[in-house]
Amino acid sequence: MSQATVRSWLADPDDETTYRRMTRGTRRLLATVVLLDGAGLLDDKFVAAIDTFDRLLNEGDARLDRALQVLQAAELTDGETEDEDGG
């Protein structure tokens, strides 16, 4: 995510030219990162594991592809939408 995206999330919601609403998934991910950091678990080893996972995703690792397909199928069946704010 770019700095411009983060700035747009922090902009005044009334500023239609700059403001960008954060998706539900992004809010959850950010909350997870804050909780991990608050618990002292967001160390260099954890960040390296995230980088490895990202690399495998970008390289198309078959195991991760299957895991993502399962997660996507579960998301389709849980009855929730991406936008919890109704928009």
- pLDDT, tens digit only, all 87 positions of the chain: 788 888 898 899 999 899 999 999 989 988 998 999 999 999 999 889 888 888 888 887 787 778 778 878 877 665 555 555 544
- Give the separation between CA 26 and CA 24, rounded to whole angstroms: 5
pLDDT of residue 83: 52
The pTM assigned to this predicted structure is: 0.52
pLDDT of residue 61: 76
- Give the separation between CA 21 and CA 34, rounded to whole angstroms: 19
